[in-house]
Structure 1
Amino acid sequence: MTPLYDADDFPAMTERRTDAIRDALLTQLRTEKERKRRTLRRRLAIWGGIGCLVVGGAAVAGTAVVSSRQVTNHDSVYCFASAERGVNGEYDMSGATMYNPDGGGGRVENALELCTTMWRQGVFNPDHDPLAATAGTGTVPDHLQVCVMDDGAAAVVPGRPGVCQAVGLSPEKTG
């Protein structure tokens, strides 16, 4: 069947062609509305999720800043072996106090340095012998965070930022 053309050289508007165009337009109108609705819902879900992440991140950062404390007890420091509780429900840690030859207790000026030295000497190795004549060797964790105990003493915990809150301590306020 050869299409018929009108005087302007366009295909003739037959009843069959008119019906096909009408059906195509109605289908387009119906699906376009649904497509726009679906796109709007998708955008709302994505931007809502991003908004929740931003607000949540700001809240966590704000909590860390607000809950941070200054180290006030410089008499001792606690060095955690890990940020996980042992089978007895307690954290594995060692305490240290500086000796002052003039009498009385000494001041722990740099808790991070003291605990790093303890890690380097192998104090947290399972086979460490505290009575041995020579210090052993150990590996210092990649990340150590200074936290503050309830009594104001410094506690050094292996882990990334945020580990202080994870173990129930306040992060150290710097500055």
Structure 2
Amino acid sequence: MNDERDISPARLNAMRDALAEHVASEPVRAHRTRRRRVLIGSVLSLVAVGGVAIAGLRVLAPAEVVDTSIAMCASEARRNADGGFDGTAVAMSEPFNPGVPTDALELCTLMWEQGAFEPDFDPLSVPPEDPFPVPPLTVCVAPDGTAVVVPSDAPEICTALQLAPVAATTGPR
């Protein structure tokens, strides 16, 4: 085993100087490394927060109903596990469903009045003389541009259901 007697004094002094230099520069390196890690972490956090904010604005931004051939009349203001809604999709365009209102809100209101969302509803029965009560209804826009009418009067219901509110420039169609 080597000890100090086997090492020349010049070599021993060189080793001590190298060790002293390394120890003296170590806090600066650790500080630089820590500062670099904090800076990289901060930049990545800002990018992540910005991405979430942009995605949130895209979902929350008002949109226009572009597909007026079909509408979704939801029976509840909640989404199913598969992302869909309980209720029914109704064709609104003339060739497919003549005589049916072309306004999604009007169509879904008519369905509520006829009892289409009642548990014992029979589609082949004669509509009732007294209309069923209609809850407040809100029109939202699905990502594919179709109207989704949900039973709620809460202004934020579209956002809560991850749908876009209807843009002010368009009517609820």
Q: How high is the TM-score relative to the length of structure 2?
A: 0.54
C-alpha spacing 1:87/1:70, structure 2 compared with 1 (3 Å): closer
Return the alpha-carbon distance in structure 1 between the equivalents of residues 119 and 156 of structure 2: 26
Return the alpha-carbon distance in structure 1 between the equivalents of residues 162 and 138 of structure 2: 13
Q: What is the aligned-residue RMSD (CA, Å)? A: 3.1
Confirm or deny that 1:114 pairs with 2:107. yes
Match of 1:135 among 107, 113, 127: 127
> Aligned runs of 1:28-67 on 2, under 5 Å?
63=57, 67=61
C-alpha spacing 1:87/1:153, structure 2 compared with 1 (3 Å): closer
C-alpha spacing 1:162/1:64, structure 2 compared with 1 (3 Å): farther
Return the alpha-carbon distance in structure 1 between the equivalents of residues 93 and 84 of structure 2: 27
Aligned to 1:80: 74
Confirm or deny that 1:174 pairs with 2:168. yes
Count of aligned positions: 111
* Unpaired segments ≥5 residues, structure 2: 1-52
Return the alpha-carbon distance in structure 2 between the equivalents of residues 97 and 89 of structure 1: 20
> Aligned runs of 1:134-153 on 2, under 5 Å?
134-136=126-128, 137-141=131-135, 143-153=136-146
C-alpha spacing 1:89/1:97, structure 2 compared with 1 (3 Å): closer
- Which structure ranks higher in relative contact order (CA pairs < 8 Å, sequence separation ≥ 6)? 2
CA offset digits 1:148-170 (Å, max 9, x no partner): 11211111111111111111111
Return the alpha-carbon distance in structure 2 between the equivalents of residues 121 and 104 of structure 1: 21
- Cα shift at 1:108: 6.2
Whether the 8 Å contact between 1:125 and 1:138 is mirrored in structure 2 is no
Return the alpha-carbon distance in structure 1 between the equivalents of residues 97 and 120 of structure 2: 30
- Cα shift at 1:66: 5.8
- Cα shift at 1:89: 6.9
CA offset digits 1:87-142 (Å, max 9, x no partner): 88742121111352xx467796311111111111100111111122x02442100x
Seq. identity, %? 39
- Cα shift at 1:82: 0.8
C-alpha spacing 1:88/1:149, structure 2 compared with 1 (3 Å): closer
Runs of 4+ with deviation above 2 angstroms: 62-66, 84-91, 103-109
Amino acid at match of 1:68: P
Q: How high is the TM-score relative to the length of structure 1?
A: 0.54
C-alpha spacing 1:156/1:135, structure 2 compared with 1 (3 Å): same
Whether the 8 Å contact between 1:75 and 1:105 is mirrored in structure 2 is no
